């Protein structure tokens, strides 16, 4: 195994495939041939994501469905694919912990000789696997024989894009606002 010393910040540099170790912390990272980064923790490799603040917060409740819509440009032969979407949390080292996930039905991306905009969507059922009163992040990617690369075949993780509201009646801030002789 060839070891390379990590000298600069990981994000957003693209490095050659291989293992890297951050000298300050001793943390190991792995870059694959597509530039995808992984962090090595306790014998496992966890995929690291690029993150950005979500443009909006969508309130959902248990029993709802979250629909994620995407667009991308494609040129090449006709190809089948599926859209995968996930709702989860941000872990240290930019790892996306997927809690809810779903895959769209297979669809065909038509052949085109020039980059052409295509769209797709995936529906994710909101279940009690995620807690009410908390915010969660989302991301989506193309799968089914399509490797993941942020901004090309998948999105960055949108932090705190979804807030799970409680379905139970909630009362708060009760107070006497006035009292007088009518």
Residues that bind other proteins (CB under 8 A): 58-60, 64-77, 79, 111, 113, 115, 119, 123, 126, 138-142, 146, 149-155, 158, 161-162
Is the CB of 4 or the CB of 69 nearer to other proteins?
Answer: 69
Query: Least distance to other proteins from the beta carbon of 155, Å?
Result: 5
Is the CB of 86 or the CB of 95 nearer to other proteins?
Answer: 86
Cα distance between residue 84 and residue 120, in whole Å:
10
Query: Least distance to other proteins from the beta carbon of 1, Å?
Result: 31
> What is the β-pairing status of strands 3-5 and 28-31?
unpaired
* Residue 119 and residue 69 in contact, taking contact as beta carbons nearer than 8 Å: yes
Cα distance between residue 33 and residue 176, in whole Å:
65
Query: Least distance to other proteins from the beta carbon of 10, Å?
Result: 21
Which token pair is 63?
């029993």
Cα distance between residue 58 and residue 34, in whole Å:
32
Query: Least distance to other proteins from the beta carbon of 111, Å?
Result: 7
Is the CB of 39 or the CB of 138 nearer to other proteins?
Answer: 138
- Burial of residue 15 (CB within 10 Å: 0-12, 13-18, 19+) is middle
Is the CB of 13 or the CB of 69 nearer to other proteins?
Answer: 69
Is the CB of 12 or the CB of 182 nearer to other proteins?
Answer: 12
């Amino acid at each position: 195994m060839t070891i390379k010393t990590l000298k600069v910040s990981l994000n957003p540099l693209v490095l050659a495939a291989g293992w890297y170790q951050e000298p300050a912390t001793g943390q190991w990272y792995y870059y694959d041939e597509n530039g995808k980064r992984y962090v090595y923790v306790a014998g496992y490799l966890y995929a690291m994501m690029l993150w950005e603040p979500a443009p909006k917060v969508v309130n959902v409740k248990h029993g709802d469905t979250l629909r994620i819509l995407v667009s991308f440009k494609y040129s090449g032969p006709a190809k089948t694919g599926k859209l995968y979407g996930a709702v989860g949390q941000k872990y240290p080292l930019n790892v996306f912990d997927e809690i809810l996930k779903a895959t769209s039905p297979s669809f065909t991306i038509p052949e085109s000789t020039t980059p052409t905009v295509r769209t797709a969507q995936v529906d994710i059922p909101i279940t009690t696997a995620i807690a009410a009163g908390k915010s969660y992040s989302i991301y989506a990617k193309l799968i089914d024989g399509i490797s993941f690369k942020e901004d090309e075949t998948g999105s960055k993780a949108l932090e705190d894009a979804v807030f799970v509201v409680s379905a139970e009646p909630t009362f708060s801030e009760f107070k006497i606002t006035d009292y007088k002789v009518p």
